[in-house]
């Protein structure tokens, strides 16, 4: 299994660096506002590099860099209609604002707020979690946010499932389609092979487009 998984890594050093940034809550240069927008737009199921990354960078230029949105509290009270020219999906904005609103109650430091929540979160009780209960937050979004907050786990989206199941089948094992079972399977696979679950998750994103690894914020 280890050698089979190794064959899927085109640039492990870069992937390891991305995973470490994620687990240290340092993606998007450590800006939690941008991480949350990333999560909120990704939750709609659009192409990550063609849609999510450019939209988040556009928001950063127009609202974050000029100081209009500086904190989780700012984001919770943000009039998202001002940014409809960037992203018009109301569901994404509502999810974003509610997550920001809750996290802002945990700490005045945005990164500490996200890490505090993630540390206290769990997979087994995700539906009763304050963020898990937010309308529009599914298991994939919940898991992605936990990863951003420093938890070594995996998000069971269609790309991750497709690649991991392909590996399982090649190894002579049965594919796993149930989301919860899939997460536990990947976490167990990570322990078995010595990789981090986050590394396996991100690896799947680059299987068909390995050059994209250098565009990962």
**What DSSP string describes 35-104?**
HHHHHHHHTTT--IIIIIHHHHHHHIIIIITTTSS-SHHHHHT--GGGGTTT---HHHHHHHHHHHHHHT
Mutual angle of helices 158-170 and 179-193, in 10-degree steps: 60
Q: Do 53 and 113 have their domain in common?
A: yes
Q: Do 85 and 130 have their domain in common?
A: yes
| Contact assessment for residue 144 and residue 65, using Cβ atoms and an 8 Å cutoff | no
User: pTM for this one?
Assistant: 0.96
Q: Do 114 and 45 have their domain in common?
A: yes
Q: Do 119 and 170 have their domain in common?
A: no
Q: Do 69 and 170 have their domain in common?
A: no
- Burial class (CB within 10 angstroms; exposed 0-12, middle 13-18, buried 19+) of 205: buried
10-26 confidence digits (pLDDT tens): 899 999 999 999 999 99
Write out the residue range of the structural domain in which residue 192 sits. 2-21+155-215
State whether the Cα torsion 158-113-37-75 is positive or negative: positive
**How much is the CA Rg of the chain, to the nearest whole Å?**
17
Q: Do 140 and 34 have their domain in common?
A: yes
Residue where one domain finishes, among candidates 122, 148, 174:
148
Q: Do 133 and 55 have their domain in common?
A: yes
Q: Do 108 and 60 have their domain in common?
A: yes
38-56 confidence digits (pLDDT tens): 999 999 999 999 999 999 9
Q: Do 47 and 129 have their domain in common?
A: yes
52-101 confidence digits (pLDDT tens): 999 999 999 999 999 999 999 999 999 999 999 999 999 999 999 999 99
Q: Do 184 and 102 have their domain in common?
A: no
């Amino acid at each position: 299994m280890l050698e089979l998984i190794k064959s899927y890594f085109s640039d492990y050093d870069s992937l390891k660096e991305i995973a470490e940034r994620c687990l240290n809550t340092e993606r998007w240069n450590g800006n939690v506002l941008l991480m949350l927008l990333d999560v909120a737009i990704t939750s709609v199921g659009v192409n990550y590099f063609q849609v999510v990354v450019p939209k988040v960078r556009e928001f950063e230029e127009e609202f974050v860099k000029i100081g209009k949105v500086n904190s989780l509290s700012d984001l919770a009270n943000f009039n998202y209609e001002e940014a409809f020219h960037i992203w018009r999906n109301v569901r994404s904005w509502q999810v974003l604002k509610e997550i920001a609103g809750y996290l802002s109650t945990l700490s005045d430091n945005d990164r500490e707020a996200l890490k505090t929540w993630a540390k206290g979160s769990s997979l087994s009780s995700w539906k009763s979690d304050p963020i898990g209960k937010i309308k529009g937050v599914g298991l994939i979004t919940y898991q992605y946010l936990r990863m951003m907050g420093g938890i070594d786990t995996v998000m069971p989206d269609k790309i991750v499932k497709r690649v991991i199941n392909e590996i399982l089948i090649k190894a002579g094992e049965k594919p796993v389609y149930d989301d919860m079972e899939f997460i536990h399977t990947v976490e167990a696979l990570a322990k078995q092979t010595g990789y981090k679950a986050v590394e396996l998750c991100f690896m799947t994103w680059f299987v068909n487009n390995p050059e994209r690894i250098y565009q990962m914020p």
